[in-house]
Structure 1
């Protein structure tokens, strides 16, 4: 069940996903990212071992590839929450919306002291440093290869049937 603070859901909530997205945007400041790039980077940030990085922050569950499908709306809601607090700006472009950390994002994140958040900041910087120059196409190819590998690893081998 989700963690609550005085009745407020914190696990997989707009607060949690918004803070993770904000950490990514702060690591890439002043660059802007679209929602798809944030979604992919957020996934890689918590599952860094999947992309040959440092130890992952979240466990390597067999069905974690599905996170990309369900997290899009959560991250979008989190970004809107961060924007409503002046921590993220939203920019309309000819291809859609992009997001950028605002000047207050750094001091806000510096005020948070949980070890988990420190680890997220480290992983976010690693992801941004390693993958920000990759094209969208190449990132999707890389993630597709990872998903294909999981599919093979977690498929139950077919057993011969006895008649």
Structure 2
């Protein structure tokens, strides 16, 4: 049986919701990984209740998330909900103009929770550096910040 939890469709929707919440700014894959983790585990970071359960090893999700987020981002781009942009800062993903309208059409309780948490993530963590976000996560999970370092060796990027 195939698991749909963290499948490409679900992650593509999460990526689209996150990108729409920071529009017109874009996010690179590394930042998407951090903000997606915060989106799902917002309660751990002092935000609204977490969407995903508080499993003991949830901090370990970060190390495996890059490949999953990349696949979801690729799907969001293929269906026109996100676009890849390159500028002097590097390569980033930006919500397309149609993403907010598409997301507004979705009314499931899960999507409503995602949009609520994405708004919280954008307001609470959106202006922080990746290092500051990692530090907050390290304090919550009791791990060293180095454990949250994300590099390009974890999978394909956009």
TM-score, normalised relative to structure 1 = 0.82
Instruction: Please list every run of 5 or more consecutive structure 2 residues that lacks an aligned counterpart in the other structure.
Output: 144-158
Distance 1:127 1:72, change over 3 A: same
Which residue among 111, 124, 131 is the counterpart of 1:117?
A: 111
Aligned to 2:53: 59
Structure 1 runs not aligned, ≥5 long: 4-9, 150-163
Q: Deviations over 1:35-85 (max 9, x none)?
A: 111111111111111101111111000000111111110110111111011
Superposition misfits of 4+ residues, deviation over 3 angstroms: 93-96
Instruction: Give how far 1:108 is off.
Output: 1.1
- Inter-partner Cα distance in structure 2 for 1:147 and 1:37: 18
Point out the more displaced range, 32-41 or 90-99.
90-99
Larger of the two Rg values belongs to structure: 1
* Residue-pair matches, total: 144
Q: Which has the higher contact order (CA 8 A, sep 6+)?
A: 2
Relative to the length of structure 2, the TM-score reads 0.84
